[in-house]
Amino acid sequence: EPEVTQTPSHQVTQMGQEVILRCVPISNHLYFYWYRQILGQKVEFLVSFYNNEISEKSEIFDDQFSVERPDGSNFTLKIRSTKLEDSAMYFCASRAFGRAAGPTDTQYFGPGTRLTVL
Amino acid sequence: RKEVEQDPGPFNVPEGATVAFNCTYSNSASQSFFWYRQDCRKEPKLLMSVYSSGNEDGRFTAQLNRASQYISLLIRDSKLSDSATYLCVVTRGAGTASKLTFGTGTRLQVTL
């Protein structure tokens, strides 16, 4: 069964450093997303990406964050200058193209990258 | 008011029990509804979509009441492997890049 993959599984960084989290979405999917989950809290939307541009972003996704699809398979999230409060699990998700609700409306999540900012 | 509200639990039930989770959402423009399951420190995984007519998948039954903006999940004959956090999820639009909005989740612990 196709799946979303993410690397690394765990990233430890010093405050102020840049990190890049990598995702390989399911191959025929066209919508891509990043979410984060701070330990003990709910999953929160960061950004959605379609047709090589951001479709929607949350208040969390400020100027320190950026996303890129550098080639046909990878989808990356960059945090320019990490803060302590960026420590969280970051999930990538992807979705097939479709206008009807149902299976094509489903977002499939990768296993996540645990980011620890010291 | 939170966009998606759930009782955080935990619900502790014996194996074989029937358990029901409820969820309310505040945005009447929401169009698609889901239950996801999340095991500890793992990614959310789709359990089932929720339709107005109600739908069933084995031991799991989901219901949607658009008028009350209420979603439910019923688990019959609970198994130990059902222990997890159940996430109520809504999204605004089918066929768009619309984000998923998650509830905080309801934790279920099934015991022997």
Q: Which residues contact A90 (CB under 8 A, 6 or more apart)?
A: A6, A21, A34, A35, A36, A46, A77, A112, A113, A114, A115
Q: What pLDDT score was predicted for residue A101?
A: 44
Q: B53 touching A, CB under 8 A? A: no
Q: Which residues in A lie closer than 8 A to residue B94 (C-beta atoms)?
A: 98-102, 105
Q: Is B104–A41 a contact, with Cβ atoms under 8 angstroms apart? A: yes
| Contact yes or no for B98 and A56 at CB 8 A | yes
Closest CA to A93 of A102, A84, A85, A105: A105
Residue A62: CB atoms within 10 Å: 9
CA angle A2, B93, B38 (to 5 degrees): 45
Q: State which amino acid sits at residue B4.
A: V
Interval B38-93: pLDDT, tens: 999 899 999 998 988 889 999 999 999 999 999 999 999 999 999 999 999 998 86
What share of chain A in percent tops pLDDT 70? 92
- Phi, psi of A84, deg, nearest 5: -55, -40
Instruction: Identify which has the larger pLDDT, A117 or B92.
Output: A117
Comparison of pLDDT for B25 and A51, the residue scoring more? B25
Place A100 in a pLDDT band, splitting at 50, 70 and 90. very low
Tens of pLDDT, residues A78-87: 999 999 999 9
Backbone angles phi, psi at B22, to 5 degrees: -120, 160
Query: Which residues does chain A have within 8 Å of residue B104's beta carbon, measured at their own beta carbons?
Result: 41-42
**DSSP state at residue B26:** S
Instruction: Dump pLDDT digits (tens) for A46-62.
Output: 999 988 999 999 999 99
Residue located via tokens 């960026």: A86
Residue B97: which of A35, A55, A91 has the nearest Cβ? A55
> Nearest by CB to B95, which of A49, A98, A108?
A98
Q: Is B103 on the interface with A (CB under 8 A)?
A: yes
Q: Are strands B100-102 and B84-91 parallel, antiparallel or unpaired?
A: antiparallel
Closest in A42, A95, A112 to B102, CB measured: A42
Tell me if A47 sits within 8 A of B107, measured CB to CB.
Answer: no
Q: DSSP for A49-118?
A: EETTEEEEE-TT--TTEEEE--SSS-EEEEESS--GGG-EEEEEEEE---SSSSGGG--EE---EEEEE-
